[in-house]
Amino acid sequence: MAQLYVLESADFLFLMRQTGLSFGNLSSHLSKLEAAGYVNVKKEFLGKKPHTMPRLSEKGRVAFRKYMQRMKQVFSDLSAA
């Protein structure tokens, strides 16, 4: 989600390289994010090759912003301890 948060969209192979996830792992994560409404996935063919372009939905952007705020608070609390 962090990669998609800063990019308009990214293709599947780019996300695999950036995250270090295997094909199966990334596919599983994207499926769960899509089911939750956090990601929209556009599937098409370029020539005879499948091309998958996930992009963060508005719901996903809001959820990720909230997650970042919570993480900032956690780290702030840790540094105050």
The domain limits of the chain are 2-80
* Alpha carbon distance 30, 38 (integer Å): 9
Distances (CA, A) of 24 to 13, 16, 31: 12, 10, 10
Q: Per CATH, the architecture of 2-80 is what?
A: Orthogonal Bundle (1.10)
The mean of the pLDDT values for the chain is: 94
pLDDT in the model for residue 39: 97
pTM (two decimals): 0.84
Question: Residues of the chain with pLDDT > 90: what percent?
Answer: 86
Whether 19 has a pLDDT exceeding 80, the answer reads yes
